[in-house]
Structure 1
Amino acid sequence: MSSQRIAVVTGSNKGVGYAIVKGLCERFKGTVYLTARNEEKGKAAVAKLKELGFQPLFHQLDIADQTSKDALEPFAEQAEKTVAVNYFGTLRVCEALFPLLRNNAKVVNISSSAGHLYRIPSASVRAKFSDSSLTIPKLNEIMESFVKDAKENKAEQEGWGNPPYCAYIVSKVSVSALSIIQQGLFDKEVPNRNISVNHVHPGLVKTDLNSNGHLTIEQGAKAPLYVALDANFKGKYVWFNCQIVDWYRETTPSRV
């Protein structure tokens, strides 16, 4: 087996993902793959980085970009699409890549301040996400239940939060919950590959999907790059300023 080190960044033809690829090209001693659903846009991003003197490679990967918070579709459709991309898309990529990970690999899942457990208003719903015995199949069922409730106009009644933004919150809480489960599974591996899985809030970055953001994409890439290249912890929820935050605690630092 080749000893070449490889970094793969999903959804990275623009925004924070693009800045993460650029940061990896600057510091990571290995091959960096920029991936995108749209081949034309992905190759254009690679060409732009090559003009800057970097040599990333492109690979087409079928996971959509984060659903816009300003989507105009009915809430039920927003909920289904957002969960499909942010949660199930992340899960599918992980299931495909995890068997290929080598010893000491690092996984960085992009969550959000919206992914903090207490952004879910209902204590009973929070208890489902924070259950220490939670498994991936059970988490899948929770997400399917949310989509069902959204379609039946019962999301607020069932404690998920207020439509339409609760779709984004629930999808990111699920990414954080998934990260914790994944770390637990890696910890139990025999032989143990010493793999870390952390989940990161990159901050409120100004992109075409978030006009309310104020951080640059480079500032948004700071924490993900820190976790990928410098940190030695596992299973942590990391804020945009590289501070570890207790995902289970009621309060968080400022989101900005």
Structure 2
Amino acid sequence: MSFHGKGRWKAAPEACRYGASKLAFRGPKRSLTNEYVAFIGGTETYGKFVSRPFAQAVEAATGVACVNLGQPNAGIDVMLGDPGLARIASGAAAVVLQVPCAANLSNPFYKVHSRRNDRFLRAEPPLCALFTEVDFTEFSFTRHMLMHLRNVSPERFGEVRQGLAQAWDVGMRRLIAEIRAPVILLWFSERAPDRDDDAVEARCEPVLVGREMLAGLQSHVVAFVEAGDMARGSQGVECHTPYAARRDGDGPRNLPGQAAHDAVAEALIPVLAKVLDP
């Protein structure tokens, strides 16, 4: 696969596989024999259109092997749907889990593709009953469908949003529980969690996830790292570490560039240092 747009990024990076996982990951491949940190997430973790994703930058700075398990367009369904992924993550000394959006997951209202979680497959009866005037066969992507529903009826869209938030919370708690390693939750976005959390536009990734939803997970993770403005590179990066208290570029404009990845790596390095050597 190649990218023929403007910029220096011309070809997809080397792909590799780990253990029993059926997924192909971004290389170069790392050994799982010695200590390693696993990075789970979507397009940003994968590092689409950048030459050095933040996982690779962390490895260069710390010397600890960093296994990039990011998947383009991945949501909770991909992360939970591959038992091999959980086994790889559970063998890590620590796991950095990028916060996924709440739109790209199967839920009581609609189903998504098992691998391409941004792909809308079908509406379920509750959604059809809620929006009787909508022809759901017209939609191929979840965001397009949700934007249309919000325009048709913001009030009824609120019911869908509530259902998505509940499904997201259940999925995230299950995912964190299945990872038998310390989990660092990473917010990598151009917006802060308490801004535009009801929007579904691309610039608002991870869509439909807000501060309150994240707060419900913080007792289940060892740290929360917030990169709230990827457009400014190293600015706007905050870190909240409940663990410490307990233990005394190139490409589309809506994707982060190399400076943003480097800034996220800088924010993660001291947090990982505390987790790996408390």
| TM-score tier (shorter) | 0.3 to 0.5
Q: TM-score, normalised by structure 1?
A: 0.40
Q: TM-score, normalised by structure 2?
A: 0.37
User: Going by fraction, where is helix more abundant, 1 or 2?
Assistant: 1
